[in-house]
Amino acid sequence: MSGHNKWSKIKHKKAATDAQRSKIFSTLSKEIIIAAKNGSDPETNFQLKIAVDKAKSLNMPKANIEKAIKRGSGELKNEAQLEEFLFEAYGPNQVAMLIKAVSDNKNRTLSEIKTALTKNGGKMVEAGSISWQFDQAGKIVLRKSEKSNEELEEILIESGADDFQVDEDEFIVYTAFQELQMVKENLEKTGLKIKEAGLTYLPQNKLELNDQDLEKYAEFFDKIEEQDDVVEIFDNIS
């Protein structure tokens, strides 16, 4: 089982800041819309359930959630269809990146992200150039618990989790992506509070940066993440 690292702390603080920005509701809406394409009932559509649960945990208004579900399931007419795209890129110091975007116009989104990368010292690469360096996995973020780390580790092992990371006052749990639903349900049965759950990409090999380069990358990361259609970025930084 894992500990924590400097980049995860930076991202944790960024996430807290991002939650105050208006873009967060737009991102959540897009995740719900994409998930609702496979069914409008969260009880039978696990992907939709975790998207809705995440939106609720960040206090997204109920009306916004319901509208996003209707748009994704096709109930709202004359709405542009959104699709999910995964772009591959290198950032400063050859940091490998997978950039997930949701858009109704792939060419526009590709052009905007490519421009942002180039302007800030990164570059887009062809599909397949980087994705092979990552494994898809399940990710569950647990809220702070009164249980000790030792107790939590025992619960996580019994739940079927593969690994976990201590991150400030949260515990980030990793699972095989096929077992995300099972592990989430097992953890809920123990009374642990889940903040969010979903799929992620974990690097097979991690890159270590010194403090100066890490700060430079954090600034670069912000520039790419602030693009309207970008919903999530995965990288190989340790």
Q: DSSP E strands: which ranges in 94-193?
A: 96-103, 123-125, 134-142, 163-167, 170-176
Residue 159 CB coordination number (10 Å): 21
15, 48 contact by CB (below 8 A): no
Residue 13 is predicted with a pLDDT of 62
**pLDDT value of position 3:** 47
Give the separation between CA 2 and CA 163, rounded to whole angstroms.
7
Residue 224 has, within 13 A of its CA and on its CB side, a CA count of 31
CA–CA–CA angle 226, 227, 232 (5° rounding): 75
| Ramachandran area for residue 203 (φ above 0: left; ψ -120 to 50: alpha; else beta) | beta
Which pLDDT does position 170 carry in this prediction?
79
Residues lower than pLDDT 50 in the chain: 1, 3-4
CA distances 104 to 25, 34, 101, 178, 237, Å, are 17, 11, 10, 28, 30
Q: What is the pLDDT of residues 161-182, one digit of tens each?
A: 999 887 767 788 999 999 999 9
